[in-house]
């Protein structure tokens, strides 16, 4: 363990592993070291006959705590490239900033729209270099001169290209809907309905996914984004009563009188 920490410091990996020594000390003292907190997300995307639809839920969790009900998990990398992310929210935001900056530099250098494979390659190299310590699992989608593309990039640097993809803690339920109903050359209405059903299935099956969902329609000439779509089971339940009571509603059952001794008498 010490050799691994020293070697990581030599190659300047921007992570500090000092807590490893702390956890070893806690174990020797008989204490249980702190555990990693789980996160949860449902993201999905699919290709239809004229473009791509992608979407994500909006719940950000830390263990059993909902940290944010309206977390934006859909990021714009370029005018023609978008990314949905699952994992650690801070890591995803920083990865989105990194990819967005590189796409802008590539656009200025080549004087043309950046390709999707460029964003995927930069994401793969960045995540592989950090050996999975960056908690980012993303779906990168868009349209370039080769047509629509859809990639999934994992935290260790691997990637998958397919006609439909899902990721996150609710991805199993989402994949069930996608695998059952997806077909090639779907219309926009059919693809949008399938995406919504996949996201809602993931949100219903996974307690760490929920609240609302955001989706984007990517076409050759335009992008449409729709936010804060609330499924029926995530609608807030209205209060039945106001729960306001007039003064003196509670009956006094007993009063206790205390003998108060002033400080001057105690000093005498």
- Tell me the CA distances in angstroms from 171 to 93, 137, 166, 223, 241, one per residue in order: 21, 12, 5, 24, 38
One of 39, 41, 42, 61 is an active-site residue; which one?
Answer: 41
State the residue for tokens 């080549």: 110
- The residues, ordered by sequence, that sit 6+ positions from 113 with a Cβ below 8 Å of its Cβ are 78, 79, 80, 107, 144, 145
Concerning whether 249 is annotated as a catalytic residue, the answer is no
Catalytic annotation, residues:
41
């Amino acid at each position: 363990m010490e050799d691994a920490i020293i070697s990581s410091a030599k190659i300047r990996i921007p992570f500090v592993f000092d807590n490893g020594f702390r956890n070893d000390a806690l174990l020797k003292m008989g204490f249980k070291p702190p555990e990693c907190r789980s996160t949860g997300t449902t993201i999905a995307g699919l290709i239809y006959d004229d473009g791509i639809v992608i979407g994500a839920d909006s719940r950000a969790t830390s263990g059993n705590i909902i940290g944010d009900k309206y977390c934006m998990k859909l990021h714009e990398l370029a005018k023609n490239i978008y990314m949905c992310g699952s994992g650690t929210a801070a890591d995803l935001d920083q990865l989105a900033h990194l990819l967005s900056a590189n796409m802008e530099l590539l656009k200025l250098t080549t004087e043309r729209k950046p390709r999707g494979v460029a964003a995927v390659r930069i994401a793969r190299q960045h995540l592989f270099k950090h050996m999975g310590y960056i908690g980012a699992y993303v779906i990168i989608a868009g349209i370039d001169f080769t047509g629509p593309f859809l990639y999934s990039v994992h935290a260790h640097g691997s990637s998958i290209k397919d006609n439909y993809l899902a990721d996150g803690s609710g991805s199993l339920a989402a994949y069930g809907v996608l695998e059952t109903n997806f077909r090639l050359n779907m219309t926009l209405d059919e693809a949008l309905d399938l995406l919504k059903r996949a996201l809602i299935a993931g949100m219903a099956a996974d307690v760490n996914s929920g609240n609302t969902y955001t989706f984007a329609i990517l076409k050759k000439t335009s992008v449409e984004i729709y936010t804060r779509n609330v499924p029926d089971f995530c609608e807030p339940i209205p209060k039945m009563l106001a729960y306001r009571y007039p003064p003196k509603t509670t009956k006094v059952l007993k009063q206790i009188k205390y003998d108060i001794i002033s400080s001057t008498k105690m000093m005498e």
